[in-house]
Amino acid sequence: MMQNRRQTIWLVSMLSLMVILSAYYLLTEEVNPGKKSELSASTGQDDIRVTEIDPPQGEEAGGMSDEEALESMNRAAGQAFFDQVELNRRTWFDREHERLSMIISDTANHTQEEAAAAVEELSRLEEMDERITSLQTKLLSSYDNAAVELEENRYKVIVQADVLDRRQAVDIVDLAVRELGITPDQVAVQYVP
């Protein structure tokens, strides 16, 4: 018992030491070997060196202004939103696919009619998924990002654009009606900057 306690204390101590050393090495790396102005001051005991690093200007600064950095952050946030919408749709599709597959394969608890209905519904589900994927692919030719949310029997088409005028929204609805085989009242259009 005492041996295990010592080993645990030793292990925690070593891990703490590793974390401290890692932080030290990460923080003491040379920041920028570019332009430097050095000042030296000499005292009786130590040689102290103070190094000032000039901040990069213009093209050296990475070429990104504050507005460009903000735009980049907005695009990243928009991308995360679209990734989440797509993940939710895929999760729902996978869950439905699994449920229907269970009905089809579980002949002991389900009748032939239930299995046949599940096969038909699974076929419709896969066809709908293909149509949604096709719609998203076509929208990506005109917009930075696109996603389709399915809520009951309604579809929400979401595109990433700075501005979306009425004509563009009508074009999206027309494309969704053609691709998904639905009526215009089943489609809502939304944009994310």
pLDDT at position 62: 55
Domain extents in the chain: 78-192
pLDDT in tens, 94-125: 999 999 998 888 888 888 888 899 899 999 99
pTM comes to: 0.58
pLDDT at position 123: 92
Residue carrying the six token digits 């088409």: 157
Residue 4 has pLDDT above 90, yes or no: no
pLDDT in tens, 117-140: 989 999 999 999 999 999 999 999
**pLDDT tier, 178 (very low <50, low <70, confident <90, very high otherwise):** very high
Could you tell me which CATH number the domain at 78-192 has?
1.10.287.4300
84 vs 92: CA distance, rounded Å: 12
118 vs 160: CA distance, rounded Å: 36
C-alpha angle 26-27-28 in degrees, rounded to nearest 5 = 100
Burial class of residue 157, CB neighbours in 10 A (0-12, 13-18, 19+): buried
Answer with the residue of higher pLDDT: 164 or 29. Answer: 164
